Structure 1
Amino acid sequence: MNTLPVEPTHPGVPSNRLASPILPPGLTDEAIVGRWLKAKATGRGRLAATTLAQYRIEAERLFWYARQVSVPISGWTLDEFTAYIGFLQAPAPWAIRARGVRRGSPDWRPFLGPLSDRSAGQTQKIVTGLFEWLRDVGYLQLNPAVGLPTVGRREPEKQARFLSVDDCVLLRETIAARADHSQEARLRKARDLFLVDLFERTGIRTSEAVHCAMGHVRIEPVPEALRREFPGAPPFQWMLRIERGKGGKARWVPCDELALSLQAYRLAFGLPPVPAQDDTLPLLLSVRRSKWGQWKGVRSRTAVWHLMTGLCRESAAYARKRGRAADAKRLDQASTHWLRHTYAKGLAEGMKNGLDTRSALDNMGHADARTFNQYVDDEPLKRALATHLARARAAR
């Protein structure tokens, strides 16, 4: 049976809306989009809380704009969608709220100013996905956003926000130089040394780290067949299970380089050096116990970010006292994600020595090679020197 268009919700507005065969009748556009958001928050592939919050913001902006132009989104054509994307980049003065105006006030607006090309492109991607879903569930005849070029789409710039090997040595040197006259100071030193190793040597995201348990670290025996395929391979391989990666995807990350610092860290906290598979203790521990005397975890992304940026500022001060102003300036700007970039850069170097692209992407939790390409050749000065020396040799 054919699905027939419903009547336009506003007189004179052409309707793209259909009577969906799989949705209850009589729902408003807002109610339908609410179901889309609920679907995005459901199941193993659900969006992370921060990503879902951004989707809600985009829905709020979308409906606010639709009310201003008096065209419901189910009546949008290519012209309305194009106008909306243009509006994001250059909103009218009446669409911008003053800072400090709270939601619920009659003066509240969903914009503080124009969106950058990158932010407008992200909005376009999310809203295009929404219209695609509305079409797929039979609520719209066509997607009014289909086929439009993405705002500001370009190849990502080479990633310059990373810490060098020497920077990471300086981080560890700073931690090791701390006084450790108290038990809490000794625990903090062991935990922080592990923290640097964890992010530099696995490249996991902060959001992934806070959901890791000690039992997610496994020591896997390497079968004889793989040892023949990889001559010189160790008999065992340390692996870290990421249960909640980006987009809800799980993966395994090699972590042999964590073995020593993990064991030292656990011993400092009075734990056996190697975690049991059923160990539910958080991977990142607070240096203070709960009121019941149990170890508790660092469970907040913000708390981990503050820990890591605090370490970087501490190292910057340490470097400055030793006359290393350039190192200090870089460390003053660094954060947890810089160490993820450091790991990615190491993988990019590894690809020159036989590491395949798929393994590099899987280690990072990337789906698109274009995202990873930003880490390849991210040192223009190094590239310039290599070019100079190669040309000099050719001219001899």
Structure 2
Amino acid sequence: MDDSELSAHQVVPPAAGRAQIAAISDAEAVAQWLGEYRASPNTQRAYRREAERLLLWLGDRQLTLSQVRRDHLDAFEAFLADPQPRERWIGPTRPRQDPRWRPFRGPLSPASRRQCLVILQGLFAWLVEAGWVAHNPFRLMRDKRRRLDNRQGRVERYLEKPLWDWLWQWLNEVPGEDAAPRVRFEHERRRFVFGFAYLLAPRIGEMAAARMNDFHRREGRWWWHTVGKGGKAASIPVPPDMLRLLGEWRTSLDLSSQPRPDEVAPLLRGLDGRRGIGENRLYRLVRGTFADAADALSARQGEEGVREVALLRRATPHWLRHTALTHQAQAGVELRYLAETARHSRLDTTARYLHAEDAEWHRQQSRHSLSPGADDDGDQAV
């Protein structure tokens, strides 16, 4: 990312002339901050998006980073909730170089606005240390804890077990005998993608980058090796269902059921069965599958499935990771092993997936009743 990509900001002097970075504009200063995340491309891309939105908004108001005040933060948060004029700020996904590109796909949800502010708080903290700005306006927020505390509640963006069970059953519906080879291939691919995501909880970037020989056997057990967020390498146990699924996917590619140690070919393949697929293509594949599943569920259940259909339409690839980790926790996988599967550096991050106590809490709370003599299940005593 360079100066012209982010904004046409004018050259500005650093705060008090004490810059610790070699930059002559806000965009260059932000680019150096983003450079600190070069080892985490997905994080860098997300941070770039939020920084770019801020710089474009400031440029529209002829402000620089060093001029941002506390009241500007409220105005910017309101703008995130309703970017106006819409035709200038909102549009469909297009290449960054396309003149029709827009920085927003739509208004940001409260959670997305909070995440944006968290990222920008970190940006300003770094710029203060770099001597580029004199102060961090986020520190003046009275409700800073509510807005910027990066600790979140339990994960809610996941598919509950009955809905996942229905989805997996739907994914396993075999195309008719007269189906074209392409249809059969796409069926096998999306079935493998969803099974892989559910059984091993990978991030979408890890899935797209996976190679056949990332699956390897050690002392009679199969493991999946991946390099994830922050360049952190990990080996994840491969359960029997995953090994079976891998064998079925490889068979559909006319390969042996188990990968060889020297097999560096992509795990996920394009329609030619050889070339890999990128992260964007994989994202569209998963979202498209969720949309197709929602249509199928709506046709089969009608109004009875309205809530579940809505969830499927909202679901993104990351929901599969949340679903996998949540269901593993509910199945009794210990927290320390769950954290290893998730590649979390903090146990409290993994603990957000622990919904298992809800049922017991709900059962015990049922003892508190308006009806004297009710038992634990709410039935009246005779």
Name 2:362's counterpart in structure 1.
384
Contact 1:345–1:376 (CA<8 Å) still a contact in 2?
Answer: yes
Name 1:164's counterpart in structure 2.
161
Matched, 1:266 2:244: no
Residue of 69, 74, 78 corresponding to 1:86: 74
Q: Deviations over 1:59-83 (max 9, x none)?
A: 4246426624xxx433x4xxx4321
Q: 1:307 to 1:284 in 2, by over 3 A?
A: same
Q: How does 1:315-326 map to 2 (within 5 A)?
A: 315-316=293-294, 319=297, 326=304
Matched, 1:255 2:238: yes
Name 1:340's counterpart in structure 2.
321
Contact 2:213–2:260 (CA<8 Å) still a contact in 1?
Answer: yes
Q: Deviations over 1:307-333 (max 9, x none)?
A: 334444544555566558645752563
Residue of 174, 177, 187 corresponding to 2:174: 177
Name 1:126's counterpart in structure 2.
119
Name 1:360's counterpart in structure 2.
338
Comparing both chains, which one has the higher relative contact order based on Cα–Cα distances under 8 Å and sequence gaps of 6 or more? 1
Q: 1:60 to 1:28 in 2, by over 3 A?
A: closer
Name 1:300's counterpart in structure 2.
279
Q: 1:263 to 1:95 in 2, by over 3 A?
A: closer
Q: How does 1:44-63 map to 2 (within 5 A)?
A: 44-48=39-43, 50-61=45-56, 63=58
Contact 1:241–1:253 (CA<8 Å) still a contact in 2?
Answer: yes
Give 1:73's aligned amino acid.
Answer: L
1:125 deviation in Å?
2.0
Q: How many percent identity over aligned positions?
A: 19
Name 1:98's counterpart in structure 2.
86
Give 2:69's aligned amino acid.
Answer: F
Query: Matched residues in 2 for 1:112 and 1:295: separation?
Result: 33
Query: Matched residues in 1 for 2:231 and 2:341: separation?
Result: 15
Contact 1:240–1:255 (CA<8 Å) still a contact in 2?
Answer: yes
Q: How does 1:271-282 map to 2 (within 5 A)?
A: 271-282=255-266
Query: Matched residues in 1 for 2:15 and 2:310: separation?
Result: 53
Q: Deviations over 1:178-226 (max 9, x none)?
A: 21445444433433332221111112122221111111112222xxxxx
Q: 1:125 to 1:309 in 2, by over 3 A?
A: closer
Contact 1:89–1:117 (CA<8 Å) still a contact in 2?
Answer: no
Contact 2:298–2:309 (CA<8 Å) still a contact in 1?
Answer: no
Residue of 209, 217, 228 corresponding to 2:215: 217
Residue of 239, 246, 254 corresponding to 2:229: 246
Residue of 21, 29, 32 corresponding to 2:29: 32
Contact 2:225–2:236 (CA<8 Å) still a contact in 1?
Answer: yes
Name 1:229's counterpart in structure 2.
none
**Structure 1: where are the runs of 5+ without partners?**
1-8, 222-235
Give 1:240's aligned amino acid.
Answer: W
Contact 1:215–1:279 (CA<8 Å) still a contact in 2?
Answer: yes
Contact 2:224–2:238 (CA<8 Å) still a contact in 1?
Answer: yes
Give 2:31's aligned amino acid.
Answer: G
Give 2:55's aligned amino acid.
Answer: E
1:56 deviation in Å?
3.9
Contact 2:53–2:103 (CA<8 Å) still a contact in 1?
Answer: no
Query: Matched residues in 2 for 1:344 and 1:186: separation?
Result: 29
TM-score computed with the length of structure 1 as normaliser: 0.70
Name 2:269's counterpart in structure 1.
285
Q: Deviations over 1:253-306 (max 9, x none)?
A: 2222310110121012111211123322221123x31xxxx61222233x3234
Q: 1:367 to 1:65 in 2, by over 3 A?
A: farther
Contact 1:162–1:338 (CA<8 Å) still a contact in 2?
Answer: yes
Query: Matched residues in 2 for 1:32 and 1:170: separation?
Result: 47
Contact 2:154–2:352 (CA<8 Å) still a contact in 1?
Answer: yes
1:162 deviation in Å?
0.9
1:337 deviation in Å?
3.2
Q: Deviations over 1:236-269 (max 9, x none)?
A: 33222222x2344333322223101101210121
Give 1:249's aligned amino acid.
Answer: K
Contact 2:197–2:320 (CA<8 Å) still a contact in 1?
Answer: yes
For the residue of structure 1 that corresponds to 2:87, the secondary structure is coil
Q: Larger Rg: 1 or 2?
A: 1
1:392 deviation in Å?
2.4
TM-score computed with the length of structure 2 as normaliser: 0.72
RMSD: 4.1
Give 2:353's aligned amino acid.
Answer: Y
Query: Matched residues in 1 for 2:157 and 2:213: separation?
Result: 34
1:86 deviation in Å?
1.0
Contact 1:206–1:305 (CA<8 Å) still a contact in 2?
Answer: yes
Name 2:17's counterpart in structure 1.
18
For the residue of structure 1 that corresponds to 2:16, the secondary structure is coil
**Structure 2: where are the runs of 5+ without partners?**
1-11, 91-95, 369-373
Query: Matched residues in 2 for 1:167 and 1:194: separation?
Result: 15
**Which sits farther off after the overlay, 120-129 or 312-321?**
312-321
Name 1:193's counterpart in structure 2.
191
Query: Matched residues in 1 for 2:102 and 2:306: separation?
Result: 41
